[in-house]
Chains A and B, each alone.
Chain A
Amino acid sequence: MKRSIHVTVNGIAYDAMCSENATLITLLREELELTGTKEGCGAGECGACTVIFNGDAVNACMVMAMEAEGAEIYTIESEAENGELSDLQKSFLEHNAFQCGFCTPGMIMSARALLNKNPHPTKEEIIEAMEGNLCRCTGYETILAAVQAIAGERDGE
């Protein structure tokens, strides 16, 4: 059964039709065709589908599409504005913080959700916020460095 749903994604209000048992990632990728959000596991274990849902980082594969009724959602497509990369995106480029790129949108959205709430997180706070985001390529150090550079606080070793 398809039902209609009203949702604001990246500042744009959508009226979409979506299957009752679909997840948010299906709504975003299949109905709204915002394919920047990636699916790595479909079970909330890898963080590749992280989006910002009413201010919180969530795994879009673990949220039912219908729960998004009236919600305000931000995806990776919201990061660059007017053709200009965001600070986080630039920092990821500068720090070589990606290889295959599949986890990258989720990484950036996790970091963005953290920075929105806490503009100067410590290294430990960054790790805590991002430990649910898996990367199989980089060994994480460049991702951490990219986020730390924006957080503007380098503590620790």
Chain B
Amino acid sequence: MANNYRYIGKSVPRHDGFEKVTGTAPYVADLKMNGMLYAGVKTSPYAHASILSIDTGKAEALPGVRAVVTGRQGATKLGIYMVDRSIIATDKVRYYGEVVAAVAAVDAETAARAADLIEVEYEPLPAVLDVKEAVKPGSPLVHEKLGEYAHIKGVFFPVAGTNIASQIKVCKGNVEEAFRRADVVIENTYEQPQVFHTPLETHGTIVQWGIGDHIRIYSSSQSPFSIRDLFSVAFRLPKTNIEVNVPYVGGGFGGKSGIHMEPLVGLLSKAAGGQPVKFIPSREQECATLPCRQGLVAHIKTGATKDGRIIAEQAEYLWDAGAYADYGVNIGRAGAVTGCGPYAIENVSVDSKTVYTNHIFGTAYRGFGHPEVFFGIERQRDLMAKALHMDPTEFRLKNLLMPGSRTITGELITENTGRADLCLKQVAEAIGLNTPYTPEEQAEFKKTGRYRAKAAAVLQKSPAIPTWCATSALLQMNEDGTLRLSVGGVDYGQGTYTVMQQIVAERLGFPIEKIHISHTINTNLSPYDWQTVASRMTVLCGNAVCEACDDLKEQLLEMGSVILRAAKHEIAIGDECVFVRQNPHQRLPLAKLAMGYTFENGNAIGGPLIGRGKAIAQGLTNLDPETGQGKTALDWTYGAHAVEIEVDTHTGDIDILHMVSSLDIGQVMNEALLRGQVVGGALQGIGTTLSEAVYYDDRGRLITRNFTDYKIPTFRDVPRKVEVLSVETPQLDGPYGARGCGEHPLIAVTAVIANALANATGAEFFDLPLSADRVYMRLHEHERE
């Protein structure tokens, strides 16, 4: 799109580079406080067991131990959407790795030793280890008192007396009748395991519960204000008592949103008489004790007419929430809203159940429900195209949402919403989707056993956020006329702060190097932000920053008008000056206005300049409890991926030869940062496709507790070629027309690779991961078929 922006869209270098490449950027683990103690935790060796007794005597007697806490102190329940998780397990444990006791000691070694000395007597209970069994009547219950838990009423729907933490339905038209009319009906089940976020930095926290219940928290978090909020609610303390600081954060991917170890470490500090306590989870604790991404069993039935129109779709989603669903219930809801993908389907029934099991509990993970449901949705599209003997791209194009069509929740798509079809066409063309392999190439495939194939898939996501989700920004001028910008959202690596600097620079025509953005959030100093999730920062925070710029500009123009003795509309800003349009030599450097202007006789006017900005999601509604109709989308970012893969049929190994991704992000804000998000997100998606899975033994004990058993992509797993494309359909209420893009690259990667694998081998794959051993076995099974 042609425009004359000076900063928007440019690959402006990140603002935080110097500190990161020198190792001077402070993360929580790097902080020390006077009198600081170290925490150790005692965790459950059972997936499901009653706690009969806990003996902390030996731990307490160990020299250097300052505090020991158990469920007696930590029974308070937490939860951002469903208040179901106590700080420390009380009567029973619900997953392997759940905290049953914790200690604070003078050093980490003593803390670990003391935790080992705590003796816990358990009585094992029947464990719920399969989400399909968990929903059957008569299944053991993970939460007997589900009916009593506090939750957001009218938004989440727990089913008391079952393992269903929340059930969300989206219904439109008449599916039964439409299935009877359909020429082709297909029905498949897709399964995917839980996966880990694995940020390189674990969830580190330091808490000091000081005298008079004044609490200071340092946390590796995406959610400083949500921690303050949830902490204050849990402990019934005023928000002014709680200060949350977030320094640099070593990756989050959703796993650091909401509240995690802060209350536990807070209890330890309180029990230790107010000494600060630090807890840096080990990698094993990060895997076993902190939350993961939910697993999903998706059962999808689709009906289409001969000419390739999808007229009915019925989806049942069973989310393996694990032991707690405090965040998970909203993932089940997001998965329902997006439950048929970016397609215009008249008759729909989606039933999304967030189900408790005795697995590690789930939480937000990059894409929030979408990467999970899109595996089934986009596999199902290729399978339906095959059943119809249609080209899959043509089939998709025939059914995609277009301006004028409505989503499954009834939201009208307009010219400004974005275009999945254009993204799909772009990637299909770039990868040469319809260029067949030559007979020579095919002969080579046969000879070597290494088969190549291509495929495409589409994706969509809107932020799954509360309707009232808000943010704010402050833009202050320094004495020398430079600017400092403060926002309440966190840049944990995605590059948001650099984009915010670009917005200020563009809006005020100001040199970007003179705009400082604070990298440390402090809830007593920083402006409010709900939390940094859902690819919402560019849009909401960007809008708040635009407003702060405009507010500052107004103040500058007003002062300029008085001092330069011209009407306000005759005053302009540029070159770090205010000036009279007609006579630009009548000018004043901004530095002279920054702290107020002083006339020659000593009179002063104005005062330190502060631009204020705010933004709130506009026009969102709760879903109708019966039909799931409503508007939940702040914006829809559509996109598509295409891949060419090579599968070695002798080993089951899959190589990604070429990957092309396109997103309709409205306006590219920073080309280099966009590429970073897409390439990084796509590789994370490739990990969840090819190797990543949380495994348990038959008693629910975690097997994958480190980077050896849980394999994330390395330098060796990078696709040979990645192309990043974009479509720019401006979002009229986004800053400069932009939409979010942080999560989207991960979505539908599983499906596009599985589709290509099917094209290469003729074997259909319904379960993840597509690890070499599983692919190999399936190919042999397919040969016998």
A103 touches B200 (CB 8 A): yes
A138 within 8 A of B: yes
A134 touches B712 (CB 8 A): yes
Q: List 17 A-B contacts (CB under 8 A).
A: A40-B201, A41-B706, A45-B283, A45-B706, A45-B707, A48-B200, A93-B14, A93-B18, A96-B14, A100-B249, A102-B27, A127-B716, A136-B199, A138-B680, A139-B683, A139-B718, A141-B722
**In the complex the two chains form, what is the Cα distance from A139 to B680 in whole Å?**
4
Q: Which range holds the interface residue count of chain A? A: 35 or more
Nearest first, the 5 A-B pairs at minimum CB distance are A36-B23, A100-B493, A102-B250, A101-B20, A99-B493
Report B-chain residues with C-beta under 8 Å of the C-beta of A89.
Answer: 21-22
- Interface of chain A, main secondary structure: loop
As a 0/1 sequence over residues 79 to 123 of chain A, the CB contacts with chain B under 8 angstroms (1 = contact) are: 110000100010011101011111111001000000000000000
A19 within 8 A of B: yes
Which among A45, A79, A99, A127 is the interface contact of B680 at CB below 8 angstroms?
A99
B251 touches A102 (CB 8 A): yes
B721 touches A157 (CB 8 A): yes
B716 touches A131 (CB 8 A): yes
Highest count of chain A CB atoms <10 Å: which of B11, B492, B672, B707: B707
B707 touches A46 (CB 8 A): yes
Which of B636-672 touch A at CB < 8 Å? 672
A37 within 8 A of B: yes
**In the complex the two chains form, what is the Cα distance from A89 to B494 in whole Å?**
19
Report A-chain residues with C-beta under 8 Å of the C-beta of B198.
Answer: 136
Known: A42-B282, A134-B707. A102 touches B199 (CB 8 A): yes
Report A-chain residues with C-beta under 8 Å of the C-beta of B492.
Answer: 100
Instruction: Select from chain B the residue with minimum beta-carbon distance to A156.
Output: B720
A144 within 8 A of B: yes
Report A-chain residues with C-beta under 8 Å of the C-beta of B675.
Answer: 96
B722 touches A101 (CB 8 A): no
B676 within 8 A of A: yes
Which of A127-145 touch B at CB < 8 Å? 127, 130-144
Which among A19, A42, A85, A101 is the interface contact of B250 at CB below 8 angstroms?
A101
Highest count of chain B CB atoms <10 Å: which of A21, A36, A38, A157: A38
Report A-chain residues with C-beta under 8 Å of the C-beta of B109.
Answer: 19, 21
Q: Which range holds the interface residue count of chain B? A: 35 or more
Which among B11, B21, B680, B707 is the interface contact of A137 at CB below 8 angstroms?
B680
A99 touches B494 (CB 8 A): yes
Which among B201, B282, B716, B718 is the interface contact of A100 at CB below 8 angstroms?
B201
A17 within 8 A of B: no
B676 touches A37 (CB 8 A): no
As a 0/1 sequence over residues 23 to 41 of chain A, the CB contacts with chain B under 8 angstroms (1 = contact) are: 0000001000001111111
B715 touches A38 (CB 8 A): no
Which of A47-102 touch B at CB < 8 Å? 48, 75-77, 79-80, 85, 89, 92-94, 96, 98-102
B495 within 8 A of A: yes
B438 within 8 A of A: no
Instruction: Apart from A43-B708, A140-B715, list 18 A-B contacts with CB within 8 A.
Output: A35-B29, A36-B22, A38-B27, A40-B201, A41-B283, A45-B708, A46-B707, A89-B21, A93-B13, A99-B493, A101-B25, A136-B198, A136-B200, A137-B493, A138-B680, A139-B683, A139-B718, A140-B713
B532 within 8 A of A: no
Residues of A within 8 A of B (CB): 19, 21, 29, 35-43, 45-46, 48, 75-77, 79-80, 85, 89, 92-94, 96, 98-105, 108, 127, 130-144, 157
Minimum CB–CB distance from B317 to chain A (whole Å) comes to 27
Minimum CB–CB distance from B502 to chain A (whole Å) comes to 14
Known: A39-B29, A136-B251, A137-B493. A100 touches B23 (CB 8 A): no
B201 touches A104 (CB 8 A): no
Instruction: Select from chain B the residue with minimum beta-carbon distance to A33.
Output: B32
A-B contact count (CB 8 A): 164
Residues of B within 8 A of A (CB): 11, 13-14, 16-27, 29-30, 109, 197-202, 248-253, 280, 282-283, 492-495, 672-673, 675-676, 679-684, 706-708, 712-716, 718, 720-722
Report B-chain residues with C-beta under 8 Å of the C-beta of A144.
Answer: 715, 718
A157 touches B706 (CB 8 A): no
**In the complex the two chains form, what is the Cα distance from A135 to B722 in whole Å?**
17
B30 touches A100 (CB 8 A): no
Known: A104-B23, A136-B200. A96 touches B712 (CB 8 A): no
**In the complex the two chains form, what is the Cα distance from A41 to B13 in whole Å?**
30
Instruction: Select from chain A the residue with minimum beta-carbon distance to B282.
Output: A42
**In the complex the two chains form, what is the Cα distance from A7 to B118 in whole Å?**
38
Report B-chain residues with C-beta under 8 Å of the C-beta of A139.
Answer: 676, 679-684, 713, 718, 722
A137 touches B251 (CB 8 A): yes
**In the complex the two chains form, what is the Cα distance from A1 to B446 in whole Å?**
64
Which among A35, A76, A102, A132 is the interface contact of B201 at CB below 8 angstroms?
A102
Report A-chain residues with C-beta under 8 Å of the C-beta of B715.
Answer: 127, 130-131, 133, 140, 143-144
A98 touches B30 (CB 8 A): no
Which among A37, A108, A131 is the interface contact of B714 at CB below 8 angstroms?
A131
Minimum CB–CB distance from B697 to chain A (whole Å) comes to 20
**In the complex the two chains form, what is the Cα distance from A92 to B19 in whole Å?**
12
Which among A39, A76, A100, A143 is the interface contact of B199 at CB below 8 angstroms?
A100
**In the complex the two chains form, what is the Cα distance from A28 to B8 in whole Å?**
42
Minimum CB–CB distance from A123 to chain B (whole Å) comes to 10
Known: A41-B283, A136-B198, A136-B712. A99 touches B251 (CB 8 A): yes
Known: A36-B23, A99-B495, A100-B493. A41 touches B716 (CB 8 A): no
Highest count of chain B CB atoms <10 Å: which of A75, A134, A136: A136
**In the complex the two chains form, what is the Cα distance from A94 to B200 in whole Å?**
23
Highest count of chain A CB atoms <10 Å: which of B14, B16, B22, B708: B22
Known: A45-B708, A79-B22, A100-B251. A40 touches B283 (CB 8 A): yes
**In the complex the two chains form, what is the Cα distance from A138 to B14 in whole Å?**
14
Report A-chain residues with C-beta under 8 Å of the C-beta of B283.
Answer: 40-43, 45-46
A134 touches B679 (CB 8 A): no
Report B-chain residues with C-beta under 8 Å of the C-beta of A79.
Answer: 21-22
A142 touches B676 (CB 8 A): yes
B676 touches A99 (CB 8 A): yes
Which among A101, A105, A133, A140 is the interface contact of B493 at CB below 8 angstroms?
A101
Minimum CB–CB distance from A15 to chain B (whole Å) comes to 21
B707 touches A108 (CB 8 A): no
Instruction: Select from chain B the residue with minimum beta-carbon distance to A95.
Output: B672
Instruction: Select from chain A the residue with minimum beta-carbon distance to B745.
Output: A139
A136 touches B20 (CB 8 A): no
Minimum CB–CB distance from A155 to chain B (whole Å) comes to 14
Which among A102, A127, A157 is the interface contact of B200 at CB below 8 angstroms?
A102
Report B-chain residues with C-beta under 8 Å of the C-beta of A142.
Answer: 676, 679
Instruction: Select from chain A the residue with minimum beta-carbon distance to B494.
Output: A99
Minimum CB–CB distance from B745 to chain A (whole Å) comes to 9
Report B-chain residues with C-beta under 8 Å of the C-beta of A99.
Answer: 251, 493-495, 676, 680
**In the complex the two chains form, what is the Cα distance from A13 to B30 in whole Å?**
23
Instruction: Select from chain A the residue with minimum beta-carbon distance to B32.
Output: A33
**In the complex the two chains form, what is the Cα distance from A39 to B282 in whole Å?**
9
Report A-chain residues with C-beta under 8 Å of the C-beta of B713.
Answer: 139-140
Highest count of chain A CB atoms <10 Å: which of B14, B18, B201, B720: B201
**In the complex the two chains form, what is the Cα distance from A138 to B253 in whole Å?**
12
Highest count of chain B CB atoms <10 Å: which of A36, A98, A130: A98
Minimum CB–CB distance from A46 to chain B (whole Å) comes to 6
A77 touches B493 (CB 8 A): no
**In the complex the two chains form, what is the Cα distance from A100 to B708 in whole Å?**
22
Minimum CB–CB distance from B198 to chain A (whole Å) comes to 6
**In the complex the two chains form, what is the Cα distance from A43 to B287 in whole Å?**
14
Minimum CB–CB distance from B365 to chain A (whole Å) comes to 12
Known: A41-B706, A43-B283, A101-B248. A141 touches B718 (CB 8 A): yes
Which among A21, A29, A93 is the interface contact of B17 at CB below 8 angstroms?
A93
Highest count of chain A CB atoms <10 Å: which of B17, B199, B280, B706: B17
Known: A19-B109, A45-B707. A141 touches B679 (CB 8 A): yes
Minimum CB–CB distance from A23 to chain B (whole Å) comes to 11
**In the complex the two chains form, what is the Cα distance from A41 to B248 in whole Å?**
18
